[in-house]
């Protein structure tokens, strides 16, 4: 295979993986606090349609992106209310949100089909660094949201592992009773993390409709939300590892058709994230492994304070 | 000083309360959806009217509703069983697809020349086994390693989808289909007989109804059913009683997956007569079946009713697509909102609101 | 050391829970620089009292004074602000995190970034002063129980605790670790802090405390300087010496050995040994009562015998047959009935009907099952008969069990367990939470069974009950049998002393 083709594919992996990255970062925070959010797909697609529509009517793609984040956050707050305050079944709540998002976005997006975007986000070309042969295009010629996602990886990873709020979040997901006894407001922490998760999912969807494609197509997330959920596990709940995972899966997405002439079926390739997730999940269960690897112990279990 | 509202757990939720709550949820859901339609600029009553007449207003509509009821019923019964034992099988969609794959294999490759009376039962058996295997893997992981079955069954869905697509784009691509992602057409003997001029593949329907009845009786009347109910209601007591929870989880998933697999057989052998891309075989039957099972309060006989209801809903959705050019995903909207309200009503019926006049000093 | 100032004073504390008065007008005080032991059996009210001090409960009546000022402690936050810290019996630590991360959890005055750095210096300080060796970077799951406890203590000290409450602190420690702990506590007291130490172990009271307050049944029965008392006196205060209620009981005529437990060893849920070389026998027609403060291995003993917990060493024999580590079902088949401690949580399926709960152990055999199917007629008939026989008060046999009163639930359980015509009944706290009428019924039933030749293992925290029902009494302490006494000859003082860990004067068991 042509090296040049390979290299351009590698460069393309980054924008391809960026929606996954946003959504995964959000889901990592939600799950770290103990909330399983299966509504990512719904939040992403609602983000996509919101961003597209807002950009269309205001002419400003940044507003579109912002609106997408807000919508994602709103949807997540519903999930948060049902899961945290009502202590209902998180799985079902997430699924319902996904279905709702898919349906509503389809309806809203009817009139956007085939409409071109009036404005696009600029492609940044970082001076000097962007001119380096080979590495330039790879790292320094992307759109601002890519850089935002990278920044978020650093910031969110740093906060989670090296700061006081990070300890709080992780403790809430591991042992909410202990955190509660130490005066932490478990409900608040979970609410915040879940809503952050939704906002970032919305952002990921916005990227798809406003930057990556850019267009509105019904169902355009095409399972990106489920991949993000898989990625969260694959990344072992670490924003840093999520970076690698997202670009890996983005690369797979980009390469799937280019590898076809080599006899590798794109469909089998697409299976990979899901198979790997099961493998990782299996390795991550079991008390000892869990402690070393980091699946939050209280994930998916509603917290009910015992008699106080 | 002041009044405080507290939620107190209700001692017992009577069946009447549950049914009423479900009905109320449905009505509220429809109202909310009507609101959404209104906001988008559609007349909700027009939408509902068309849906209803499309699904139930004509013989054709009713028959189409039955066609959609079949997989929902078959898979729904299996899910009602699994959820009863607190095994969260979210992967019925994948098990359904694998059942379809197995039927295709039997019809096109294993015994393409066999007569119908051998072919059809074999397809169903193969479909059952395929679905069961697909479900057993996550079940085994849960029983042995306590791996979260919500995620594993879900992942298996997407693996199954990609697998089906791989087959129809690749090795099983039909010779006679000019590059379309279809497998070859099933031999006549493998095509399920239909009821009159409708598309209702009645053998599957009969099997599904039988399944509902059999599962209902199994759960109520057999030792095994008793074990399932105890495990689902109070796992600690189940252990104390000496019930082997591993056995319960595995058998329940086996049957749940198997039934979903049979639903898949019905779709390929009864409706499409070939294997197609995953989206073409099942537009979310496995997920809709979750709602079907829940709405029926995990009662297999109740699933017969709720499956029919949702079958009508799906047909109504198709009608909207044709007559109002609404997107296919509109049905997801219905599903999502209904599921929400069922969930909310479940929570609210678990508790009653109590007013406290005195100061709570916490 | 200057004259000790009274740091804590709790006056006339009353706390009621549904059905029981945990604290019935308790007055308690502790001074600066002292180690004050709170002694009593379970249910005496000592943990409740301290939970009130720590803000977990609110008293119904009474006042609390800290450093002379009246205070209202509405939550642990208030308590911490007043300089009160508590180390609970079951540690509250996040296992996959480091020591430092656990210590700073919930604190607001540590730096935003790399907070664990700031912590390390202060931890080192405590290590120096009190010998509280903890490695701030160690993960909790790597630490032993003793080390984890030290983390809990540092956690409290870090928040400025001058009054430190420890609830049964030595329950998970080795003797070595216990000595180290005592050293640490003494040093903290010498610095002027107040240590309140909840325990039921007399040896420890004598070893480390300056003063001791004894609670019994929610009241203070004595407060004294440790140097002015001894173990026997404390034991007597702890269990009382009233004449006990005697049931009408013909003398025992024990027959063959039914249950034999031979050098049984087992671990508890935390992996710490809970049973150490436990041996005893029970014969037909006799009741062996296990006396002891809860948490000394009784729960694990019951679970091993009924097949719910593995034994690490030793044997359990029923009618001579080795049933060690067999499944609960197999053991049940040998004729072992189990009346469990947690009625609703373990013994019943709350949402299911009485009839269905009655067959919980026997559903898989005739007459309730024929082949694969349950026989609804047989189930119904059995339920109707049994409900009458055992006097279960209920509108119907199909009523969900969770609607029944405690006494009726216990009747259903007894009906179910006794219907298998058992050889051995393992009864764990059978009258806990029941009213007088129900309690009497259960006790009479047990005596009846014993008279019919059934062997009974009775575990109970209620010493009165042990004395009333048992033919022989075995006392458990820290997983060992301290002694087995003939009920006729045993007196409360002796039993109380054994329960509190005092070695028997004469021969060991």
Encoding tokens for residue A203?
A: 């952002």
Q: Residue C360: its chain B contacts at CB < 8 A?
A: 230, 237, 240-241
- Taking alpha carbons only, the member of C71, C73, C84, C68 closest to residue C164 is C84
- Mark which residues 79-118 of A lie under 8 Å from B by CB: 82, 86-89, 91-93, 95-110
Could you tell me which residues are beta bridge partners of residue A205?
none
In a domain, A305, yes or no: no
Q: What is the pLDDT of residue B62?
A: 92
d(Cα B308, Cα C435) in Å, to the nearest integer?
52
pLDDT band per the 50, 70, 90 thresholds, residue A267: confident
Between A63-67, A128-132, C11-15, C407-411, the lowest mean confidence (pLDDT) is in A128-132
Encoding tokens for residue A97?
A: 């949100």
Q: What is the pLDDT of residue B181?
A: 83
**Other beta carbons less than 10 A from residue A66's beta carbon:** 18
Quick one: which H or E segment has residue B316? helix B300-323
Q: What is the pLDDT of residue B128?
A: 97
**Residues of C near B (CB-CB distance < 8 A)?**
58, 74, 307-308, 327-329, 332, 338, 340, 342, 345-352, 356, 359-361, 363-364, 369, 372-374, 376, 400, 402-403
pLDDT band per the 50, 70, 90 thresholds, residue A252: confident
In a domain, A300, yes or no: no
d(Cα A268, Cα B171) in Å, to the nearest integer?
12
> B237 and C329 in contact by Cβ < 8 A?
no
Q: What is the pLDDT of residue C482?
A: 92
Quick one: which H or E segment has residue C17? strand C6-17
d(Cα C256, Cα A133) in Å, to the nearest integer?
93
Contact assessment for residue B282 and residue B97, using Cβ atoms and an 8 Å cutoff: yes
Encoding tokens for residue B69?
A: 């009821």
Query: Quick check: A104 contacting C, CB < 8 Å?
Result: no
For an interface test with B, give the residue of C78, C299, C340, C360 to mutate (most B CBs within 10 A).
C360
Calculate the CA B184 to chain-centre distance: 27
Residue A258 in this model has a pLDDT that exceeds 80: no
For C108, which DSSP code? S
Domain boundaries, chain C: 6-239, 256-335+423-509, 344-421
Q: How many angstroms away from the CA of C263 is the closest CA of chain A?
A: 30
Query: Quick check: A4 contacting C, CB < 8 Å?
Result: no
Q: Which chains share 3+ C-beta pairs under 8 angstroms with B?
A: A, C
Residue A285 in this model has a pLDDT that exceeds 70: no
Query: Quick check: A286 contacting C, CB < 8 Å?
Result: no
Query: Quick check: A166 contacting C, CB < 8 Å?
Result: no
**pLDDT single digits (tens) A233-242:** 889 899 999 9
For an interface test with C, give the residue of A178, A179, A296, A307 to mutate (most C CBs within 10 A).
A178
Encoding tokens for residue B331?
A: 């049905």
Query: Quick check: A299 contacting C, CB < 8 Å?
Result: no
For an interface test with A, give the residue of B37, B140, B148, B285 to mutate (most A CBs within 10 A).
B148
- Taking alpha carbons only, the member of B96, B75, B68 closest to residue B319 is B68
> B159 and A275 in contact by Cβ < 8 A?
yes
Q: Residue C361: its chain B contacts at CB < 8 A?
A: 241-242
How many H-runs (helices) and E-runs (strands) does chain C carry? 16, 22
Q: What is the pLDDT of residue A20?
A: 96
The CATH code of the domain at B61-322 is 1.10.3470
**Please, what's the b/e burial string for C178-193 (b: 16 or more CB within 10 A of its CB; e: otherwise)?**
bebbbebbbebbeeeb
Q: Residue C77: its chain A contacts at CB < 8 A?
A: 183
Encoding tokens for residue C386?
A: 């049994």
> B223 and C345 in contact by Cβ < 8 A?
no
Domain span at A74: 3-293
Phi, psi torsion values for C69, nearest 5 degrees: -100, 140
Burial class (CB in 10 A: 0-12, 13-18, 19+), A263: exposed
Q: How many angstroms away from the CA of A32 is the closest CA of chain C?
A: 13
- Could you tell me the strand order of the sheet in which C84-87 lies? C84-87, C163-167, C194-199, C35-39, C211-216, C219-225
Contact assessment for residue B336 and residue B345, using Cβ atoms and an 8 Å cutoff: no
Between the two ends of chain C, the Cα-to-Cα distance in Å is 45
Mean pLDDT in residue range A6-26: 90
Encoding tokens for residue C346?
A: 């373990």
Q: What is the pLDDT of residue C459?
A: 95
Between the two ends of chain A, the Cα-to-Cα distance in Å is 67
d(Cα C95, Cα C99) in Å, to the nearest integer?
9
Encoding tokens for residue B37?
A: 């339609």
Q: Residue C80: its chain A contacts at CB < 8 A?
A: 183
> B158 and A271 in contact by Cβ < 8 A?
yes
Whether C6-239 and C256-335+423-509 share one fold: the answer is yes
> A175 and C141 in contact by Cβ < 8 A?
no
Global ipTM: 0.86
Q: What is the pLDDT of residue A292?
A: 57
Residue A28 in this model has a pLDDT that exceeds 90: yes
- pLDDT beneath 70: ranges in chain C: 1-4, 241-248, 504-509
Please compute Rg for chain A using Cα positions: 19
Q: What is the pLDDT of residue B12?
A: 58
Q: Residue B37: its chain A contacts at CB < 8 A?
A: 107
**Other beta carbons less than 10 A from residue C416's beta carbon:** 23
In a domain, A93, yes or no: yes
Preceding peptide of C367 cis, ω within 30°: yes
Non-local CB neighbours of C81 within 8 Å, separated by 6+ positions: none
Q: What is the pLDDT of residue A6?
A: 74
Q: What is the pLDDT of residue C164?
A: 95
Mean pLDDT in residue range A286-300: 66
> C106 and A291 in contact by Cβ < 8 A?
no
Encoding tokens for residue A266?
A: 């794109």
Query: Quick check: A51 contacting B, CB < 8 Å?
Result: no
Query: Quick check: A308 contacting B, CB < 8 Å?
Result: yes
Q: Residues B162, B167, B169, CA angle at the centre, nearest 5°?
A: 90
For an interface test with A, give the residue of B6, B158, B341 to mutate (most A CBs within 10 A).
B158
Encoding tokens for residue C426?
A: 């393992």
Q: Residue C115: its chain A contacts at CB < 8 A?
A: 163-164, 167
d(Cα C64, Cα C45) in Å, to the nearest integer?
16
Domain boundaries, chain B: 1-42+324-362, 61-322
Of C359, C369, C402, the CB nearest to B12: C402
Angle between the N-to-C axes of helices B59-84 and B92-104, in degrees from 0 to 180, rounded to the nearest 10 = 110
Could you tell me which residues are beta bridge partners of residue C288?
C457, C472
Contact assessment for residue A179 and residue A19, using Cβ atoms and an 8 Å cutoff: no
Q: Residue B224: its chain C contacts at CB < 8 A?
A: 372
- Sign of dihedral through CA atoms B52, B56, B62, B65? positive
For B108, which DSSP code? I
Q: What is the pLDDT of residue B13?
A: 62
Phi, psi torsion values for A53, nearest 5 degrees: -65, -40
Q: Residue B292: its chain A contacts at CB < 8 A?
A: none
- pLDDT beneath 50: ranges in chain B: 1-4, 354-362
Question: What's the number of domains chain A is made of?
Answer: 1
Q: Residue B90: its chain A contacts at CB < 8 A?
A: 91, 95
Q: Residue A170: its chain C contacts at CB < 8 A?
A: 94, 97, 101
Q: What is the pLDDT of residue C437?
A: 81
**pLDDT single digits (tens) A90-103:** 999 999 999 999 99
Q: Which chains share 3+ C-beta pairs under 8 angstroms with C?
A: A, B
Q: How many angstroms away from the CA of B194 is the closest CA of chain A?
A: 32
Calculate the CA B60 to chain-centre distance: 23
Q: How many angstroms away from the CA of C372 is the closest CA of chain B?
A: 6
In a domain, A60, yes or no: yes
Nearest residue of A to residue C93, measured between CA atoms: A178
> B237 and C74 in contact by Cβ < 8 A?
no
**CATH homologous superfamily for the domain C6-239:** P-loop containing nucleotide triphosphate hydrolases (3.40.50.300)
For an interface test with B, give the residue of A96, A257, A261, A285 to mutate (most B CBs within 10 A).
A96
Calculate the CA A14 to chain-centre distance: 14
Burial class (CB in 10 A: 0-12, 13-18, 19+), B134: buried
pLDDT band per the 50, 70, 90 thresholds, residue A1: low
Of C308, C373, C402, the CB nearest to B222: C373
> A162 and C76 in contact by Cβ < 8 A?
no
Q: What is the pLDDT of residue C5?
A: 82
**Other beta carbons less than 10 A from residue B10's beta carbon:** 13
- Mark which residues 228-257 of B lie under 8 Å from C by CB: 229-230, 233-234, 236-237, 239-242
> B329 and A107 in contact by Cβ < 8 A?
yes
> A167 and C97 in contact by Cβ < 8 A?
yes
Of A164, A177, A178, the CB nearest to C104: A164
- The Cβ-side half-sphere exposure at C25, using a 13 Å CA radius, reads 1
> C113 and A182 in contact by Cβ < 8 A?
no
In a domain, A67, yes or no: yes
Q: Which fold has domain C256-335+423-509?
A: Rossmann fold (3.40.50)
Contact assessment for residue C23 and residue C59, using Cβ atoms and an 8 Å cutoff: yes
> A182 and C105 in contact by Cβ < 8 A?
yes
> C340 and B240 in contact by Cβ < 8 A?
yes
């Amino acid at each position: 295979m042509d090296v040049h083709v390979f290299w351009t594919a590698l460069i393309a992996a980054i924008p391809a993986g960026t929606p996954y990255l946003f959504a995964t970062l959000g889901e990592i925070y939600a799950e770290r606090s103990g909330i399983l959010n299966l509504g990512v797909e719904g939040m992403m697609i609602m983000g996509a349609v919101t961003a597209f529509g807002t950009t269309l009517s205001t002419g400003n793609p940044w507003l579109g992106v912002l609106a997408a984040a807000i919508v994602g956050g709103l949807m997540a707050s519903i999930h948060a209310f049902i899961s945290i305050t009502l202590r209902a079944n998180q799985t079902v709540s997430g699924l319902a949100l996904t279905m709702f998002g898919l349906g509503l976005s389809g309806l809203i997006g009817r009139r956007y089909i085939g409409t071109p975007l009036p404005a696009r986000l600029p492609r940044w070309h970082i001076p000097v660094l962007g001119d380096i042969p080979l590495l330039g295009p790879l790292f320094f010629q992307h759109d601002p949201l890519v850089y935002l996602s990278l920044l978020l990886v650093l910031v969110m990873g740093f906060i989670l592992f090296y700061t006081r709020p990070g300890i709080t979040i992780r403790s809430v997901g591991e042992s909410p009773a202990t955190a509660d006894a130490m005066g932490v407001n478990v409900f608040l922490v979970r609410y915040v993390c879940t809503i952050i998760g939704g906002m970032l999912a919305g952002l990921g969807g916005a990227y798809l409709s406003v930057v990556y494609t850019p267009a509105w197509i019904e169902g355009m997330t095409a399972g990106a939300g489920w991949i993000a959920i898989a990625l969260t596990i694959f990344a072992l709940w670490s924003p840093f590892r999520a970076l690698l995972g997202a670009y890996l899966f983005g690369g797979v997405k980009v390469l799937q058709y280019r590898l076809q002439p080599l006899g590798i079926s794109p469909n089998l390739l697409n299976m990979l994230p899901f198979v790997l997730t099961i493998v990782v999940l299996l390795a991550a269960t079991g008390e000892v492994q869990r402690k070393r690897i980091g699946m939050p112990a209280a994930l998916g279990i509603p917290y009910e304070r015992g008699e106080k | 000083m002041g009044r405080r509202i507290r939620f107190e757990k209700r001692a017992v939720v009577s069946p009447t309360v549950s049914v009423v709550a479900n009905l109320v949820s449905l009505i509220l859901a429809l109202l909310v959806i009507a609101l959404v339609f209104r906001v988008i600029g559609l007349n909700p009553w027009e939408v509902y009217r068309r849906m209803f007449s499309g699904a139930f207003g004509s013989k054709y509509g009713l028959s189409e509703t039955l066609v959609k009821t079949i997989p929902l019923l078959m898979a729904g019964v299996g899910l009602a069983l699994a959820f009863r034992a607190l095994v969260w099988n979210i992967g019925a969609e994948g098990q359904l697809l694998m059942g379809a794959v197995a039927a295709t294999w039997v019809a096109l490759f294993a015994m393409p020349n066999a007569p119908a009376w051998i072919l059809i039962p074999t397809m169903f058996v193969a479909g059952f086994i395929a679905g069961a295997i697909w479900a057993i893997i996550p079940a085994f992981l849960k029983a042995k390693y306590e791996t979260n079955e919500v995620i594993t069954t879900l992942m298996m869905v997407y693996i199954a989808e990609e697998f089906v697509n791989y087959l129809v784009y690749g090795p099983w691509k039909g010779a006679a289909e000019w590059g379309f992602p279809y497998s070859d057409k099933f031999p006549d003997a493998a095509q399920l007989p239909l009821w009159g001029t409708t598309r209702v593949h009645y053998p599957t329907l009969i099997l599904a109804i039988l399944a509902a009845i059999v599962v209902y009786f199994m759960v109520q009347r057999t030792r095994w059913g008793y074990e399932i109910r105890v495990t689902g209601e109070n796992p600690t007591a189940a252990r104390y009683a000496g019930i082997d929870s591993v056995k319960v989880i595995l058998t329940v998933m086996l049957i749940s997956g198997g039934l979903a697999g049979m639903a898949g057989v019905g779709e390929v052998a009864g409706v499409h007569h070939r294997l197609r891309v995953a989206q073409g075989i099942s537009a979310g039957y496995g997920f809709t079946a979750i709602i079907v099972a829940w709405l029926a309060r995990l009662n297999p006989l109740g699933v017969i009713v709720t499956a029919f209801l949702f079958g009508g809903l799906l047909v109504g959705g198709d009608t909207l697509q044709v007559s109002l050019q609404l997107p296919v995903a509109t049905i997801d909207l219905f599903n999502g909102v209904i599921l929400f309200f069922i969930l909310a009503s479940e929570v609210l019926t678990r508790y009653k609101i109590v007013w406290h006049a005195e100061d709570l000093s916490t | 050391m200057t004259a000790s100032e009274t740091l804590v004073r709790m006056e006339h504390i009353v706390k009621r829970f549904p059905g029981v008065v945990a604290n019935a007008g308790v007055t308690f005080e502790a001074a600066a620089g002292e180690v004050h032991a709170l002694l009593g059996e379970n249910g005496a009210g000592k943990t409740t009292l301290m939970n009130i001090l720590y803000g977990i409960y609110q008293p119904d009546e009474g006042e609390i004074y800290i450093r002379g000022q009246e205070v209202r402690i509405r939550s642990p936050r208030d308590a911490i602000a007043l300089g009160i810290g508590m180390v609970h019996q079951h540690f509250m630590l996040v296992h996959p995190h480091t020591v430092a991360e656990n210590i700073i959890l919930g604190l607001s005055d540590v730096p935003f970034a790399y907070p664990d750095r700031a912590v390390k210096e202060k931890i080192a300080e405590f290590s120096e002063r009190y010998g509280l060796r903890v490695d701030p970077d160690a993960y909790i799951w790597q630490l032993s129980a003793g080390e984890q406890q030290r983390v809990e203590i540092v956690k409290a000290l870090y928040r400025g605790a001058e009054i430190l409450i420890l609830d049964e602190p030595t329950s998970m420690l080795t003797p070595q670790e216990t000595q180290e702990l005592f050293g640490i506590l003494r040093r903290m007291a010498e610095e002027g802090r107040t240590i309140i130490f909840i325990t039921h172990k007399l040896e420890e009271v004598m070893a480390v405390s300056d003063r001791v307050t004894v609670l019994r049944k929610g009241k203070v029965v004595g407060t004294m300087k440790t140097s002015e008392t001894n173990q026997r006196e404390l034991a007597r205060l702890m269990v009382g010496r009233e004449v006990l209620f005697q049931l009408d009981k013909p003398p025992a005529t024990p027959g063959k050995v039914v249950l034999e437990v031979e050098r049984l060893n087992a671990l508890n849920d935390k992996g710490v040994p809970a049973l150490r070389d436990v041996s005893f026998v029970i014969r037909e027609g006799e009741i062996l009562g296990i006396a002891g403060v809860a948490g000394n291995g009784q729960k694990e003993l019951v679970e091993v015998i009924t097949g719910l917990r593995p034994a690490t060493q030793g044997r359990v024999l029923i009618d001579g047959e080795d049933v060690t580590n067999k499944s609960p079902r197999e053991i049940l088949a040998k004729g072992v009935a189990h009346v469990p401690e947690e009625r609703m949580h373990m013994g019943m399926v709350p949402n299911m009907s009485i009839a269905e709960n009655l067959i919980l152990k026997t559903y898989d055999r005739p007459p309730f099952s024929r082949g694969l199917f349950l026989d609804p007629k047989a189930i119904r008939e059995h339920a109707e008969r049994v409900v009458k026989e055992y006097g279960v008060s209920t509108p119907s046999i199909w009523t969900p069990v969770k609607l029944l009163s405690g006494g009726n639930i216990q009747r259903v359980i007894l009906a179910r367990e006794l219907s298998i015509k058992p050889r051995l009944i393992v009864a764990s706290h059978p009258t806990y939470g029941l009213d007088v009428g129900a309690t009497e019924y259960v006790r009479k039933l047990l005596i009846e069974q014993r008279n019919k030749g059934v062997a009974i293992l009775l575990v109970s925290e209620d010493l009165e009950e042990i004395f009333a029902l048992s033919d022989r009494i075995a006392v458990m302490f820290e997983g060992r049998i301290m002694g087995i006494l003939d009920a006729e000859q045993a007196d409360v003082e002796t039993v109380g002393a054994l329960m509190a860990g005092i070695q028997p004067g004469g021969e060991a068991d």
